Structure 1
Amino acid sequence: MLAPRPWRTDRTADGMGDSVSDGVVTGDDTGRGDVPSDEAAAESLARELAVEQAHVDRVHAELRKAGERARLVEIEGMSRGRTDRTGDIRDEEVSGLFARDALVFRAGQRRHDLERQHEGLVFGRLDMEDSHGREVRYVGRLGVRDDDYEPLVIDWRAPAASPFYRATPVDPQSVLRRRVLRSRGETVIGAEDDLMVADAPDDLVVLGEGALMAALGRSRSAHMRDIVATIQADQDEAIRAPARGVTEITGGPGTGKTVVALHRAAYLLYSDRRRFEGGGVLVVGPSAAYTAYIERVLPSLGEDSVALRALGDVVDACTAGRLDPPSAAAVKGSLRIRRVLARAARDTIPGAPDTLRAMVSGRAVRLERRRLDRVRSQVLRRHHRNSSQDAMVLALAADAWTQARRPEDRDVDREEFIATFVDHRDVEAFMHAWWRPVDPREVLLWLADARRARRCSRGVLTEAEADVLAASLQATLDTGTWSVADVALVDDLDARLGEVKEMPVERGFFEIEELDELEAQRSLRVGVPERNAPAHSALTPTRHLTHGDARDVLLRGHVGRPSEYAHVLVDEAQDVFPMQWRMLARRGRWASWTVVGDLAQASWEDLDEAEKAREEAFGSAPRRAFHMATNYRNAKEVFAYAEKVVREHVPDADIPAAVRETGVDPVDVTVPADSLDATVRTHVAELADEVDGSIAIIAPARWAASMADLVAAAEDIAPGLGARLVLVDPLSSKGLEYDATVVLDPDEIVAESPGGVRVLYVVLTRAAHRMHVLRPED
């Protein structure tokens, strides 16, 4: 996530440049330095931190004043538009109400932004020198000015802050020293410096061992840290690239692609707020675990106008976290399934009558399956199914007239017959059973019937594939949960069927209580708490729900028109199925894109098909690419192990260069399966002593239950371990990182994963410092 600083002047006291002692470097006019004593170094460090603390205190004081000003503006706004008159309001009063709402909204938004800026508000300082003299600039999460409108902090996205990220000793951009400040709350607790000139001025003190390596050594927490303070020049170039078109960010594991992309989203919102805040930014990740991991990055940068979605949450009223077996995922993800869905969308409702019988204007009408199918085919050439009811009944009426008319019936008027047919109660009842509007989720569930799935798949899927499709959708019905791959199919069907327009129904108290009980039952039945559903999904069932009915749970809510966004960011793009690319394309027809990925980590096997679907989603928009070549996450020893594994199967894998060494090789042992639990406990306890941060057990489904019990008893292994130890499945580990990992049964991970060795490669690159690989032996 950070780039190396090969130009660091951490030179020893050998007479060749600056001297270093206890994190303090001092320069002199000869380019040599005297090594200060430990006491002198500590005093120098304390003085520098005191200077920075004084500035940070001043900034927070101004921040509180700004918050008070925003509060007063809110009060003023609320006072506008008030009137003692009753009855009709005047035009000027309408204008007052509008001004009031605008003032209150903007002031409230500003006050909210100010109140949350405490942790690391000021994170950087630039000491600059040019022909006009010396200048100090402080860089932070948002801009702050004093009463004279002089800048105390420059917003990191502003052009004036760009030297903080782009300056190098080769191109210093007038920067003498770049300092990264570390804070806890409003207290400065440390500083790290990078020197940009060969000879430091006499009065310039250089602290620490460099911001980059200090950041690399810190422990991982449950939430990804934003690294705005230590973004490097090549990454900053990608962040500030033009908004238009498609920006692709590639690189191997640990190269910081995700953080660069998220900071790019924040930068775009800052640089063209009208466009991107008004049109919206959609950030899509592979899983709910991933989105929970990164959800604090953008808000911590001052941007909360971003829709953050896992692939299973992109469609309203569908929240999915369950993964299909590889065979089912391969069928559902391929573009071939579109022909199957097209046939299903045109099919009749299960159990619908296959004959229409009615007595119309004294004539017996009987339309059997063949005639009904012909009329249905004709109407669907020109209409979406859910908007075809009027056209369908008129077409049936015309066909009924052709059947019922006799040559001698010259006195029977065609228009009168058709009008009578359309309003006939028997026809209305038939239409409700045979051709009512249908929910796209309902149509997908029809394919849980193996016979229907085979019929709709004939000539497209093999019979075995059709059975796999039906079995996977039956599993959806059995569990009451959608799979992640199901969601893209629902989206495709929604586009084919058209929107279901329904009148709002007022819910009764007893029905609302029933919905609450049903939701509680769903959580218990699935075995996991309800995840973060999209905030805009509505709980408006289309029909009466009954307890214990998983089908009703699946059809909860309403699938509305997809939202379209001004910018779409797709992370772990190598794992997006072709059908999922089509789903994303519907939300980004007029959008610019940021796409992040690494083909060596792909879990989708047919990369050519995925590439075709992706290019169709982007259209003719211009492309630009940025490549990240340095692995900042993994220690060299950990990454060397992972590289050896992937090279055997993916010889052209994009392998970045790791920049840290720990001197500790990964542990790789074979253990008896019957003593696996005890062995895992021993290894977890060992890692708990070696690292201070997070530890993950990454285990395939075969061992999930026993490992869940072990994690639940983490406090018995080591005090405080409960907050640090997690269990994660291989696919959900994508995009995540930990201080240490226990990788369980790598052969089984390969066997159960759709990407095989590529997924194992992902698993082996999650650890920053330590990794233990355990191989059960039966």
Structure 2
Amino acid sequence: MAAQHDSAREREIRREQAHLDGVYRRLEEKIHEAEFLMDDASKRAQVGTPGALAERDAQVFRAGVHLNRLNSEFEDFLFGRIDLLRGADAERGPDGAYISSEPAEGAVREDGAADIAETLHIGRIGVLDAGYTPLVIDWRAPAAAPFYRATPVAPGRVVRRRVIRSKGRRVLGVEDDLLRPQITARLDGEELPVIGDGALMAALGQARSHTMRDIVSSIQAEQDLVIRAPAASVTEVEGGPGTGKTAVALHRAAYLLYQDRRRYAGGILIVSPTPLLVSYTEGVLPSLGEEGQVAIRALGSLVEGAEAGTYDEQSVARVKGSARMVKVLHRAARGALDAGEVPQRLRVVAFRNRVELDAGELRRIRQQVLSGTAPVNLMRPRARKFLLDALWEKCGARRHHTDPDLAAEAREGFDEDVSAEDDFTDFLDAWWPELTPRRVLASLADEDRLSLFAGAASGSGGTGRSGGAAGRGRTGRNRAGRSRRGQLLTPAEVRAVARSVRRLGADGEGPLSVHDVALLDELRVQLGTVAKPRRREAELSLGDPLEQLTGLDELTTAADREAPRRGRAERLAEERTDYAHVIVDEAQDLTPMQWRMVGRRGRHATWTVVGDPAQSSWPDPEEAAEARGEALGSRPRRRFELTVNYRNPAEIAELADRVLARAMPGVVPPKAVRSTGLRPRFAVASGELGAAVRAEAERALSEVDGTVGVVVPMRRREEAREWLSGLGDRVVPLGSLEAKGLEYDATVVVAPAQIAGEPPTGNESAGGGASLDDVPGEASPAGLRVLYVALTRATQRLTVLSAEGDLPDTADVPHLLRD
């Protein structure tokens, strides 16, 4: 029987290999066609009219994009197949496949026999033969949906589903699921063979690397519903650890581009919490045949010219992320005009007389200007006008002109003469300078100034609706954290924030945290950007008549245009702050200030928001939820829930669920679909902690073929890098807040009580140093949620290493993990 089974498997592999060979022959033909089109178009040296020029370039562009897709090397270009019964109708879709989802009456005969009427191969891009018959169906096409959605309970037309494993151009194996076991199906006169025990379990058992693999060959029904959900309004997805939220978000981006590429030409933004998660996921979209129109950014990289490279202490991060900072920054943006040496007197010559404004008059003029609502930098023309008004009134010239026309003419001459004086322009530059977000942020290092901005809420003009949660509260300290005296920040919070900003120079240059980046974005809005002067006509090229007439550059070949076009595309990507669709991954960790930052990039967008409240490390979910609601606006919501844990074996999930029950009583965890029989390992660091961590990491390396994640308290992550140096790149040391969204074959979780007892901050960004003087406290709900995340990173093996404060029992199980 074994020999017969092996023979059947080999026979089916040969059949799939023959089909794959035919697909690659067709791809080579299409590549030659695309190369011919590019070559033909680029040889047209002079095309005459601007319309012909645009048509030529469009042809080159389309051919180039198509050629790039065809030349992409996929690890498993063709990965699936479905064998289908005859459909209820014979109508075909644009991809050449029959569109009927249900079998025709009589497709299964009374004796239980049936014939396979159609076989579809599923791959990363669609391929048609010369007669427009589908050789490969794009995984995003409607015809491919049954590959993901069909089940034994609701099989539709699907009799057999096959996952094809390949590398390069070679088929390695096949795994089948028989969805209609009660019938006897025949294909080309032969009974349909079934090979293997199912593809999903095989995919789950594969070793992990440092980058995420796509799940295109193993998407499950509830995941497929999310991926293919209509894009209108807001799609909200919740799911516990291991349910595939991040993978679903990435596949959804590829699906939306496939469905409506023109609509999403404005770009899709995917927001990830950490650079680690960005580097882990950024290879997925190219493997799905999509790149170029999707930007994957960490929260600390969303603002042009700013990149998070350090951490805030956790108490500081809680303040910087709070909605209270909206009003603090509103005041700081206006107050920054008074920073440094501000001129206290303005003297100009008008009508041969010296006219002067003193400090009191200048102060009143500034208050008058700031009564407006425009951003500070954009008030400069208003400030200039008010200064001229005051000088005109002070010089008394208005009283000498009773005729309105003569008075207007005199005033116009007055403004021109005064504005041309160096004394006036120098004064205006010093009195109302162009402010930058970095300089204003750096000014908060002055505790006295910050105390002024963080004083009683009634002191300065509010921000209206943008104040968010800062205006509503509870008794004593409200939800936004304001003190009883009405202050936005307490004296201790002022000292902590000012101390953290001192790492920046006076110009604001220096290491930024992920929370600083959100503050810079808020200041960018509060300050506004002064428009750059347009180039003078004399600076424009006069050598090309076509450019003068049309604004188009006539170049001889597409190759000549390639470099300028690429530079412009890169520039637009850098400058883009508004997208057609925004996908937020690990949304539960965004602070209120970060929701404001992300919301500005999706003002006209549709949204996909992916997260899990049980994994949130932000201590005030209500405040974050309010900011999230403001960012998403009044758009209708469509909600989905992912309920199956594909990452963790049941043995690991059971342990993690104990922590979840403490953190969020009553929450139902996702159900693990597999069991390995390997219970989590518990150990105690009896001696030096670093030596114990290294020993456990070495042990894990010997037990798995893939990666080992060593999760330590945030304040220990720099030490952990030293402890694990020299063990190779399969070992990844990371702080507890950096682990979000990642997975490893084996995980070593160090000092769980310290992880759960650290004051939570929300998300974090790239390297740097938190205070080593932080003393872990009692486990809070948010801290327990961070520990829950750490315990759910492993796909095969989990080790928990107890340290000080864990109180292990005789079986070395720490107190937080006991029943």
Q: TM-score, normalised by structure 1?
A: 0.83
1:488 touches 1:579 (CA, 8 Å); kept in 2? yes
Match of 2:185 in 1: 201
Answer yes or no: is 1:581 the counterpart of 2:578. Answer: no
Match of 2:349 in 1: 360
Answer yes or no: is 1:738 the counterpart of 2:744. Answer: yes
1:317 touches 1:538 (CA, 8 Å); kept in 2? no
Q: Distance in 1 between matches of 2:576 and 2:377?
A: 16
Q: Distance in 2 between matches of 1:491 and 1:224?
A: 30
1:356 touches 1:427 (CA, 8 Å); kept in 2? no
1:243-392 pair list within 5 angstroms: 243-276=231-264, 278-304=265-291, 305-347=293-335, 348-361=337-350, 362-380=352-370, 381=372, 383-392=374-383
Match of 2:151 in 1: 168
Q: 1:128 aligns with which of 65, 69, 84?
A: 84
Deviation digits for residues 572-593 of structure 1 (CA, Å, limit 9, x no counterpart): 0000111111111111111110
2:348 touches 2:424 (CA, 8 Å); kept in 1? no
Answer yes or no: is 1:680 the counterpart of 2:693. Answer: yes
Q: Mind listing any 5+ residue stretches in structure 1 that lack a counterpart?
A: 1-35, 84-89, 506-533, 540-557, 715-721
Answer yes or no: is 1:751 the counterpart of 2:757. Answer: yes
Answer yes or no: is 1:434 the counterpart of 2:431. Answer: yes
Deviation at 1:667, TM superposition (A): 1.9
Match of 1:51 in 2: 15
Q: TM-score, normalised by structure 2?
A: 0.79
Name the amino acid aligned to 2:746. A
Give 3-state SS (helix, strand or coil) of 1:756's partner. Answer: helix
Match of 1:455 in 2: 452
Deviation at 1:774, TM superposition (A): 1.4
Give 3-state SS (helix, strand or coil) of 2:185's partner. Answer: coil
After superposition, the Cα gap between the structure-2 partners of 1:124 and 1:407, relative to the gap in structure 1 and judged at 3 Å, is: closer
Count of residues in Structure 1 that have an aligned counterpart in Structure 2: 679
Q: Distance in 1 between matches of 2:85 and 2:203?
A: 27
Deviation at 1:244, TM superposition (A): 0.2
After superposition, the Cα gap between the structure-2 partners of 1:349 and 1:110, relative to the gap in structure 1 and judged at 3 Å, is: farther
Q: Which deviates further from its counterpart, 621-630 or 445-454?
A: 445-454
Deviation at 1:704, TM superposition (A): 2.6
After superposition, the Cα gap between the structure-2 partners of 1:483 and 1:346, relative to the gap in structure 1 and judged at 3 Å, is: same
After superposition, the Cα gap between the structure-2 partners of 1:535 and 1:494, relative to the gap in structure 1 and judged at 3 Å, is: farther
After superposition, the Cα gap between the structure-2 partners of 1:243 and 1:353, relative to the gap in structure 1 and judged at 3 Å, is: same
Q: Distance in 2 between matches of 1:559 and 1:120?
A: 30
2:308 touches 2:514 (CA, 8 Å); kept in 1? yes
Deviation at 1:566, TM superposition (A): 0.9
Q: Which deviates further from its counterpart, 341-350 or 292-301?
A: 341-350
2:617 touches 2:785 (CA, 8 Å); kept in 1? yes
Name the amino acid aligned to 1:224. M
Deviation at 1:405, TM superposition (A): 3.8
Deviation at 1:423, TM superposition (A): 2.5
1:250 touches 1:597 (CA, 8 Å); kept in 2? yes
Match of 1:699 in 2: 712
Q: Which deviates further from its counterpart, 38-47 or 73-82?
A: 73-82
Match of 2:673 in 1: 659
Answer yes or no: is 1:481 the counterpart of 2:514. Answer: no
After superposition, the Cα gap between the structure-2 partners of 1:106 and 1:373, relative to the gap in structure 1 and judged at 3 Å, is: same
Deviation digits for residues 682-709 of structure 1 (CA, Å, limit 9, x no counterpart): 2122211211111011122443333212
Q: Distance in 1 between matches of 2:581 and 2:731?
A: 36
Name the amino acid aligned to 2:304. D
Give 3-state SS (helix, strand or coil) of 1:723's partner. Answer: coil
1:315 touches 1:562 (CA, 8 Å); kept in 2? no
Q: Distance in 1 between matches of 2:272 and 2:250?
A: 11
Answer yes or no: is 1:106 the counterpart of 2:94. Answer: no
Q: Distance in 1 between matches of 2:179 and 2:267?
A: 39
Match of 1:510 in 2: none
Q: Distance in 2 between matches of 1:609 and 1:760?
A: 22
Q: 1:606 aligns with which of 614, 620, 628?
A: 620
Deviation at 1:365, TM superposition (A): 4.1
Answer yes or no: is 1:709 the counterpart of 2:722. Answer: yes
Name the amino acid aligned to 2:60. V
1:257 touches 1:596 (CA, 8 Å); kept in 2? yes
Deviation at 1:638, TM superposition (A): 1.2
Match of 2:44 in 1: 80
Name the amino acid aligned to 2:368. Q
Q: Distance in 1 between matches of 2:259 and 2:437?
A: 39
Q: Distance in 2 between matches of 1:536 and 1:629?
A: 44
Q: 2:494 aligns with which of 435, 450, 466?
A: 466
2:343 touches 2:427 (CA, 8 Å); kept in 1? no
Q: Distance in 2 between matches of 1:300 and 1:359?
A: 67
Match of 2:198 in 1: 210
Give 3-state SS (helix, strand or coil) of 1:590's partner. Answer: coil
Q: Distance in 1 between matches of 2:800 and 2:418?
A: 73
Match of 2:214 in 1: 226
Q: Distance in 1 between matches of 2:691 and 2:504?
A: 35
Deviation at 1:562, TM superposition (A): 5.1
Answer yes or no: is 1:644 the counterpart of 2:658. Answer: yes
Name the amino acid aligned to 1:77. A
Give 3-state SS (helix, strand or coil) of 1:48's partner. Answer: helix
Q: Distance in 2 between matches of 1:702 and 1:621?
A: 40
1:386 touches 1:497 (CA, 8 Å); kept in 2? yes
Percent sequence identity is 45
Q: Distance in 1 between matches of 2:692 and 2:567?
A: 43
After superposition, the Cα gap between the structure-2 partners of 1:396 and 1:176, relative to the gap in structure 1 and judged at 3 Å, is: same
Match of 1:26 in 2: none
Q: 2:171 aligns with which of 169, 188, 192?
A: 188
Deviation at 1:322, TM superposition (A): 2.5
1:80 touches 1:97 (CA, 8 Å); kept in 2? no
Q: Distance in 2 between matches of 1:396 and 1:536?
A: 41
Give 3-state SS (helix, strand or coil) of 2:217's partner. Answer: helix
Deviation digits for residues 38-96 of structure 1 (CA, Å, limit 9, x no counterpart): 2222111111111111111111111111111110110111133536xxxxxx43xx233
Deviation digits for residues 368-415 of structure 1 (CA, Å, limit 9, x no counterpart): 444323222322305432222222122112223444549998899655
2:591 touches 2:624 (CA, 8 Å); kept in 1? yes
1:496-535 pair list within 5 angstroms: 496-502=526-532
Give 3-state SS (helix, strand or coil) of 2:369's partner. Answer: helix
Q: Mind listing any 5+ residue stretches in structure 2 that lack a counterpart?
A: 87-103, 108-114, 457-487, 536-565, 762-781, 806-819
Match of 2:92 in 1: none
Q: Distance in 1 between matches of 2:256 and 2:228?
A: 8
Deviation at 1:601, TM superposition (A): 0.8
2:662 touches 2:784 (CA, 8 Å); kept in 1? no
Deviation digits for residues 123-152 of structure 1 (CA, Å, limit 9, x no counterpart): 001111225752111000000111222110
Give 3-state SS (helix, strand or coil) of 1:374's partner. Answer: helix
Match of 1:397 in 2: 388
Name the amino acid aligned to 2:379. S
Deviation digits for residues 689-734 of structure 1 (CA, Å, limit 9, x no counterpart): 21111101112244333321233211xxxxxxx1311111111111
Deviation at 1:418, TM superposition (A): 4.2
Answer yes or no: is 1:775 the counterpart of 2:802. Answer: yes
Name the amino acid aligned to 1:356. R
Deviation at 1:307, TM superposition (A): 0.8
Give 3-state SS (helix, strand or coil) of 1:660's partner. Answer: coil
1:79 touches 1:100 (CA, 8 Å); kept in 2? no
Give 3-state SS (helix, strand or coil) of 1:273's partner. Answer: coil
Name the amino acid aligned to 1:201. A
Q: What is the RMSD computed on CA atoms of the aligned residues?
A: 2.5
Deviation at 1:747, TM superposition (A): 2.2
Give 3-state SS (helix, strand or coil) of 1:420's partner. Answer: helix
Q: Which deviates further from its counterpart, 67-76 or 697-706?
A: 697-706
Deviation at 1:247, TM superposition (A): 0.4
Answer yes or no: is 1:242 the counterpart of 2:248. Answer: no
Name the amino acid aligned to 2:437. P
Give 3-state SS (helix, strand or coil) of 1:703's partner. Answer: helix
1:694 touches 1:738 (CA, 8 Å); kept in 2? yes
